[in-house]
Structure 1
């Protein structure tokens, strides 16, 4: 597993501090941990084996139990928040699952274009001569690169084809792990949470391949194909609508934050009613007094957040292991 000592701070733990060091700069996405800029190199120990490889033109971080393939593993697809696979915190999170026996595949959903950090946007602002900034939750980004612009480049039509290519590749390369688990498991944080829901839904083939949006395909009543995953777990999702939860057809675990503007209570409550109406196996726990993004590994000073972080990990881990 990566050395916990080099973890960056999750943004909520130092959002109000001034004069942060480079290692404490935060992502432009509210709730995301920052990319690994200037942090120490990832550590290694006997618990996991890590590598970064490519499936076609897609970068993928893979972390395996140390005794794999001598001991069977289940395959887990981990979908990150906007900071992507170069974030130290995201790698640590993947390693935690690998140390529990999962073969973890964490793809670059953003094709080399992760969310900007405050450091990179400050540099862009200086070079462009633009001083005006907009406030987005706990993060400030230059007006020349708003979060809306970034999100507009990373829609289901762009992200789902990336995930489909990775799924096709892992089914071939790690057929033993897929077979051992009876399918692919998935966990998603922040941005990645919605894509766990989409992969766990019966999308039509054109939507699944990115040829049209899932919403448009649903409205047109096209023939749907089965879910791409066996079971899923999500934490503090963003951009999730009621219809995303209504479409899920696989067992689902939800970690949520009380009074989270990025995953509003009414969306969560309506989604839960839909899951109950379908009699779909699910588990939901709402954590009070913690910030959005708390479930991703981060160096928080608040003991309550640390404890909730461990509880959320255990909740998701137990769910995946039991399915």
Structure 2
């Protein structure tokens, strides 16, 4: 759905299977999260993403934007031209200090992974980097994952998700077109 919105805005959209056909299934006693994550961690996602970016650039596309956690590493290594974090998780202040390309961080008011206080700290770090354009916003009344997992009957959730999607598209338009 989100990739479809990006494509509808005129971008070439790619949705890689970073889980390599092995998505995490909550409650699976044969493969608890800590075991599953050993084979699907962020380091592997970054390596996979670098190869995908290289392949896309090899096909003549020069301006690449990425949404999702893996883009933090891509922004730190300047592999892409713009990144968007929607309800970030497992992102540290040190990660944000390393960002070298424009980044937008869209956080949730109710988020145990990146609470508003941490997102504001990200913003403070980015404001000290005048050569890196940034945009940080915290959406009230929503929880971690709200941009992709929300109840269609919850008007606030739908409105917030659509607003975040539009913010993401604006960011990509601003930095990639």
Output the TM-score relative to the length of structure 2. Answer: 0.89
Instruction: Measure, in 1, the Cα distance between the counterparts of 2:120 and 2:38.
Output: 27
Q: Which residue of 2 aligns with 1:238?
A: 89
1:250 aligns with 2:68: no
Instruction: Measure, in 1, the Cα distance between the counterparts of 2:141 and 2:92.
Output: 24
Q: CA deviation at 1:265?
A: 3.1
Q: CA deviation at 1:150?
A: 2.0
Q: 1:308 aligns with which of 145, 150, 160?
A: 160
Q: CA deviation at 1:260?
A: 0.7
Q: Which residue of 2 aligns with 1:284?
A: 136
Q: CA deviation at 1:239?
A: 1.1
Aligned length: 174
Q: Which residue of 1 aligns with 2:74?
A: 199
Q: CA deviation at 1:242?
A: 1.2
Q: CA deviation at 1:167?
A: 1.4
Instruction: Measure, in 2, the Cα distance between the counterparts of 1:297 and 1:172.
Output: 34
Instruction: Measure, in 1, the Cα distance between the counterparts of 2:44 and 2:121.
Output: 27
Q: Which residue of 2 aligns with 1:46?
A: none
Residues 251 and 172 of structure 1: is their aligned pair in 2 closer, same or farther, counting only changes over 3 Å? same
Contact kept in structure 2, 1:200 and 1:250, CA below 8 Å: yes
Q: CA deviation at 1:312?
A: 0.6
Contact kept in structure 2, 1:257 and 1:287, CA below 8 Å: yes
Trace 1:103-142 onto structure 2 (pairs within 5 A).
103-116=12-25, 118=26, 141-142=27-28
Q: Which residue of 2 aligns with 1:36?
A: none
Provide the aligned C-alpha RMSD in A.
Answer: 1.7
Residues 241 and 311 of structure 1: is their aligned pair in 2 closer, same or farther, counting only changes over 3 Å? same
Q: Which residue of 1 aligns with 2:6?
A: 97
Residues 277 and 94 of structure 1: is their aligned pair in 2 closer, same or farther, counting only changes over 3 Å? same
Structure 1: runs of 5+ lacking an equivalent: 1-91, 119-140, 203-226
Higher mean C-alpha displacement, 288-297 vs 308-317: 288-297
SS at match of 1:313: helix
Instruction: Measure, in 2, the Cα distance between the counterparts of 1:163 and 1:308.
Output: 28
